[in-house]
Amino acid sequence: MTRPRRLADAPSLTTTVPRQLVHRAALSETLLTGWRRTGEDRFSVSAQWPRSHGLHVSPDWSAYDPLLVVETVRQAGTLIAHTEYGVPLDHQFVMQEFHVDAATEKLTVDLLPAEPELELLFADVQYRGRRLAGARYTARVLREGEPVAAADVAFTVVAGSVYRRLRGGRTPESVTAAPPPAGLDPVAVDRALPADVVLAPADGPDRWQLRVNTAHPVFFDHPLDHVPGMLLLEAARQVARLLGIDGQSPILYHASFHRYAELDEPVWIEAKGGRGTDVQVLGTQGESAIFTCMVGTAVR
């Protein structure tokens, strides 16, 4: 008589980490599958990249976009801050710097979803009392043991009550973004859909208005009271594709975030010097700088 196969006899099963630990609402946008401590302030985080994605996989399903690496590294740092450093779920993360350099030849889509491993090292860990107040961490992203990307990230953490005071009553319910203006040609910025274009023409060369569509399921996976950093990085990516030499693909982002970008005021995106391999991008709102980002490119 054939013995029924038990669950324990089956291959090991994989699921995502709780989506709340990476500040995502959709399971489909939750990229991490596990983590473990490997040493003092050292951690290993596992992930899975889908073979198709509404934004971060090429339209022909042949390549992962380096911004998928950025989002994976962001989620990994958030996960470790909550699980290993005790940051409460109602605390807010404020991104200060995000540097990532990816190898596009290692970002091909294969017949199975990629399952990268991230090696994280936390440094400059700061506490306010017993609570984590901020840190810097580096990440090595490996795919089948081979380096895919390296990142360096700095962030601070504020309690929910402090964040609400800082935001002066601005909440996702009280702030409404204006309808986004008509965007550029999707082909010009290497996007398949008009809804994924985040740049609109403005009043001068190398200057655009940021298109903020709070219905976008990736950038606004959940309601926010400000423009998310990933939308700003996508704007930098599209500037680089617009101004870059044919055959060049963005692989490096060195971004500094200076203040929140508000939903209900125009954000202006400018290219400051450089056409070709490297592009310096500046985002402003009113008289203030929102973020700066140097985007480096390489031949695909």
Average pLDDT over residues 27-50: 96
Average pLDDT over residues 127-146: 94
Average pLDDT over residues 164-170: 88
Average pLDDT over residues 110-115: 95
Q: Which of the residue ranges 179-188, 237-246, 265-274 would you say has the lowest mean pLDDT?
A: 237-246
Whether 7-164 shares its CATH topology with 170-299 is answered yes
Q: So what's the pLDDT on residue 130?
A: 86
pLDDT at 271 over 50: yes
CATH topology classification for 7-164: Thiol Ester Dehydrase; Chain A (3.10.129)
Q: So what's the pLDDT on residue 24?
A: 96
Tell which CATH architecture fits domain 170-299: Roll (3.10)
Percent of the chain with pLDDT over 90: 76
Alpha-carbon span 279 to 83, nearest angstrom: 37
Question: Which three-class secondary structure state does DSSP give residue 19?
Answer: helix
Average pLDDT over residues 228-236: 97
Q: Where are the domains of the chain?
A: 7-164, 170-299
Alpha-carbon span 227 to 160, nearest angstrom: 18
Alpha-carbon span 117 to 218, nearest angstrom: 23
Q: So what's the pLDDT on residue 7?
A: 47
**Residue 249 contacts residue 300 (beta carbons within 8 Å):** yes
- In angstroms, how far is the first alpha carbon of the chain from the final one? 57
The owner of tokens 């109602």 is 90
Alpha-carbon span 225 to 216, nearest angstrom: 14
pLDDT tier at 245 (50, 70, 90 boundaries)?
low
Comparing 160 with 85, the larger pLDDT belongs to 85
Q: pTM to 2 decimals?
A: 0.93
Average pLDDT over residues 84-109: 94
| pLDDT tens-digit map of 39-66 | 999 999 999 999 999 899 998 999 999 9
pLDDT at 6 over 60: no
pLDDT at 242 over 70: yes
Alpha-carbon span 156 to 295, nearest angstrom: 24
Cα–Cα distance list, 184 to 124, 180, 193, 201, 209 (Å): 42, 12, 11, 7, 10
Residue 159 gets the label, from left (phi > 0), alpha (psi -120 to 50) or beta, of beta
Q: So what's the pLDDT on residue 205?
A: 85
